[in-house]
Amino acid sequence: MKSIVKKTLIGMSVSAALMGTSLAQADIKIALAGPVSGPVAQYGDMQFIGAEMAIEQINKKGGVNGEKLVGIKYDDACDPKQAVAVANKIVNDDIKFVVGHLCSSSTQPATDIYEDEGIVMVTAASTNPDITLQGYQLIFRTIGLDSLQGPVAGRFVADSIKPKRMAVIHDKQQYGEGIATAVKKTVEESGVDVVMFEGITAGDKDFSALVAKLKRNNVDFVYYGGYHPELGLILRQSAELGLDAQFMGPEGVGNKDISAIAGEASEGLLVTLPPSFELDPKNKGLVDAFEKKNQDPSGPFVMPAYAAVQVMADSMKATGSTDAEEVAEYMHKASFTTPIGDVKYDEKGDLTSFNFVVYNWHADGTKSPAK
Amino acid sequence: MSESIYYFLQQIANGLTIGSTYALIAIGYTMVYGIIGMINFAHGEVYMIGTYVAFIALAGLSMLGIDNPFLLIGIALAVSIVVASAYGFSIERVAYRPLRSSKRLIALISAIGMSIFLQNYIRLAQGSRDIAMPSMIKGGFLFGSPEGSHIMISYMQVIIMVTTVLCMVGLTLFITRSRMGRACRACAQDIGMTNLLGINSNNVIAVTFIIGASLAAVAGMLLGLYYGVVNPYIGFIAGLKAFTAAVLGGIGSIPGAMLGGLILGVSESLTGGYLTAEYKDVVAFSLLILILLFMPQGILGKPEVEKI
């Protein structure tokens, strides 16, 4: 009997001690949610280095309202199930600010949890329009929407390429199918003939049946909605099986790994990407800071992630509060000067303006603006 | 020939390529099932490890300055077979042999555990990203007119099919002609009786695992070169497809595994070619359900006789 009492007492004092530490931390914690592992982890890196740089620079200038920002990484592996688990963990860890998630399919299920639990979330990468259509007050982005990106790609195809027989392929996921549908709609309005509209299975490795079908339909232009692991293999197998067509994809395919997978076949691929913020002369100092740490500032999500942290920090400073609702209310009203330009939000939490630019991708992993 | 026949033959060729590799992996499932009656769910991971080892060997060899592609591929294949066999042998020794006399379900759980362990161990050791490798063998055979309708079969596809046929012939000779092959067949019939007759069944089972792992390594190397990418998760889906092929052909039957692999590959390719690529898994697995409903023993399997 005595020992049970003793154990209970020890247990109670331990849990009291644990609670004490969580109360004692005065730092403002920001959760950085995105893929640390999984097939698209390189996009996660872009987001993490951008957000961490912002946190570091804000802390160097004295932090926010006298307190330091602390970034904590959470790995959702771009898996919707794991994203929900991560969101619940963030709630349990009593964090009120989130940068993330990355993949639209992960962001979507997590937003419900954040909105209900009073957590401000800013995604630097999720471009699916549905995410902000639910009338949320606490959900924002620092990137444009597929509904903007799709028409940019579609107009470019209709005006500059003028394909005779076009195919639109997607990976059946929220991001890929969403953007592919938007592209199809835009080009069809301009009178381009879309002869194939088909989904593939993400994670698949063999696309020889699809390539043979594209060849049979005499397709001369292919738009792919999805990520680079699949498009890389489609490009590679198209080159091997002698398909002579021009390919184009969204920013989800625009990173160096596609050149590693497809090799020479990635030369001349067209990609819509956010503009190269790192080339903006105003960001010179920031680019130098990245290069000093041996980090690459040219990834499409690096600067948006920096901006996401900055927007939240500026709002905390302006309101003098770390209350999620107050901060969000201020974000809806104010305008911010960030490395991605002037940021202003509409009532849905979307940016009022954001540009996408068409680039030519090269086999060495670099890009140049397309004419 | 009309254009549609060329298209049909092209899809058949694509299907046979992918089907050959399913068949190579399926052998590992079917042989192990034939002898000890358990499903080695870690087999897909051995295939994945085979691909990684081949990639590492290729990268290492080209750093040493060897640039003859056939020499490179030959040595890498040998290294990959040896390492994968060592894994196959160790998996059996560590995870299955101690449980052999226990219930089947326990060995099955051990197999699933092994699979998760291997996948995560490779993920930690090699990272979770796709590792890519440039194509080493380019070009192919073209039948028909290059401008009009034609069939294009890349050299890599030819290599995959030829290697598979060679492995299958070799395996069949081994099983039907050699002493060890006879011991394997004896174990498949009645393992207790084989022991009584003075054959060490532990050795036979170890050899079975080594053969299965070697063939999986061959498939891993071939598909690695063909697709040019590897990540720690490829073993799961490849293992599932190969297992389906083994069941389709009749689990326990080696010719059945070969046939099942080819049927699965061709049906996937035809679905992708004539319906839509979205439905290829749906069709492949519907085929499996239909065959199991009407021929529960698979196409070439023998009906299970309950041993008393």
| CA B83/CA A357 separation, integer angstroms | 48
pLDDT per position as a tens digit, A133-170:
988 999 999 998 888 888 899 999 999 999 999 999 99
Instruction: Give the residue from chain A lying closest to B141, CA to CA.
Output: A241
Smallest Cβ–Cβ distance between B14 and the set A200, A209, A236 belongs to A209
- For residue A352, being part of any structural domain is answered with no
pLDDT per position as a tens digit, A346-369:
989 999 888 889 999 999 988 888
- A152 in the same domain as A251: yes
- For residue A350, being part of any structural domain is answered with no
- For residue A216, being part of any structural domain is answered with yes
* Min distance A14 CA to chain B CA atoms (Å): 33
pLDDT for position A21: 44
- For residue A345, being part of any structural domain is answered with no
Q: Is residue A134 less than 8 Å (CB to CB) from chain B?
A: no
User: Does the pLDDT value for residue B289 go beyond 60?
Assistant: yes
How distant, in Å, are the alpha carbons of A68, A274, A359 from that of A146?
A: 35, 11, 17
A240 contact residues in B (CB cutoff 8 A): 135, 138, 140, 154, 156
B278 contact residues in A (CB cutoff 8 A): 172, 198-201
Going by pLDDT thresholds of 50, 70 and 90, the confidence category of residue A19 is: very low
The mean pLDDT of A72-76, rounded to a whole number, is 94
User: Does the pLDDT value for residue A315 go beyond 90?
Assistant: yes
Strand partners, A248: A223, A270
Instruction: Give the residue from chain B lying closest to A208, CA to CA.
Output: B14
User: Does the pLDDT value for residue A14 go beyond 80?
Assistant: no
A207 contact residues in B (CB cutoff 8 A): 277
pLDDT for position A22: 43
Determine, for residues B227 and A38 on separate chains, whether the beta-carbon distance falls below 8 Å.
Answer: no
- A242 in the same domain as A101: no
The mean pLDDT of B211-218, rounded to a whole number, is 95
pLDDT for position A7: 56
- A208 in the same domain as A104: no
pLDDT per position as a tens digit, B248-283:
999 888 899 999 999 999 999 999 889 888 888 888
User: Does the pLDDT value for residue A296 go beyond 50?
Assistant: yes
| Residue span of the structural domain in which A303 resides | 10-144+279-339
- For residue A167, being part of any structural domain is answered with yes
> CB pairs below 8 Å between A and B: how many?
97
- A364 in the same domain as A334: no
pLDDT over 70, % of chain B: 98
Return residues 145-164 of B near A (CB < 8 Å): 152, 154, 156
Mean pLDDT over each residue of chain A, to the nearest integer: 89
pLDDT per position as a tens digit, A109-132:
999 999 999 999 999 999 888 899
Determine, for residues A261 and B156 on separate chains, whether the beta-carbon distance falls below 8 Å.
Answer: no
User: Does the pLDDT value for residue A195 go beyond 80?
Assistant: yes
pLDDT per position as a tens digit, B139-187:
888 888 877 778 889 999 999 999 999 999 999 999 999 999 999 999 9
- A198 in the same domain as A72: no
- A290 in the same domain as A185: no
pLDDT for position B62: 87
Domain ranges of chain B: 3-294
Mean pLDDT over each residue of chain B, to the nearest integer: 90
Would you mind telling me the total number of residues written for chain A in this entry? 371
- A86 in the same domain as A22: yes
DSSP secondary structure string, A86-133?
HHHHHHHTT--EEE---SHHHHHHHHHHHHHHT-EEEESS---GGGGT
DSSP secondary structure string, A284-332?
HHHHHHHHHTT--TTSTTHHHHHHHHHHHHHHHHHHT---HHHHHHHHH
B266 contact residues in A (CB cutoff 8 A): none
Domain B3-294: CATH class, spelled out: mainly alpha
Return residues 52-91 of B near A (CB < 8 Å): none
A256 contact residues in B (CB cutoff 8 A): none
- For residue A66, being part of any structural domain is answered with yes
CB-based contact B225:B136 (threshold 8 Å): yes
- A133 in the same domain as A159: no
Going by pLDDT thresholds of 50, 70 and 90, the confidence category of residue A17 is: very low
Smallest Cβ–Cβ distance between A257 and the set B11, B130, B152 belongs to B130
Domain count, chain A: 2
| CA B130/CA B266 separation, integer angstroms | 27
Smallest Cβ–Cβ distance between B227 and the set A37, A199, A233 belongs to A233
A233 contact residues in B (CB cutoff 8 A): 227-229
Q: Is residue A172 less than 8 Å (CB to CB) from chain B?
A: yes
CB neighbours of residue B259 within 10 Å: 21
How distant, in Å, are the alpha carbons of A354, B116, B118, B130, B229 from that of B126?
A: 38, 15, 12, 10, 13
- For residue A4, being part of any structural domain is answered with no
User: Does the pLDDT value for residue A16 go beyond 60?
Assistant: no
Going by pLDDT thresholds of 50, 70 and 90, the confidence category of residue B210 is: very high
pLDDT for position B307: 47
CB neighbours of residue B289 within 10 Å: 9
Q: Give the closest residue to A83 by CA, choosing from A103, A69, A59, A65.
A: A103
- A362 in the same domain as A213: yes
| CA B89/CA A259 separation, integer angstroms | 38
- A315 in the same domain as A244: no
Going by pLDDT thresholds of 50, 70 and 90, the confidence category of residue A6 is: low
CB neighbours of residue A172 within 10 Å: 16
| CA A368/CA A370 separation, integer angstroms | 6
Instruction: Give the residue from chain A lying closest to B272, CA to CA.
Output: A209
A172 contact residues in B (CB cutoff 8 A): 278
Would residue A95 be called left, alpha or beta, if left means φ above 0 and alpha means ψ between -120 and 50 degrees? beta
- A127 in the same domain as A54: yes
CATH of residue A334's domain is 3.40.50.2300
* Min distance B200 CA to chain A CA atoms (Å): 41
- For residue A5, being part of any structural domain is answered with no
The ipTM of this complex is 0.85
- A118 in the same domain as A21: yes
Both structure tokens of A49: 């280095």
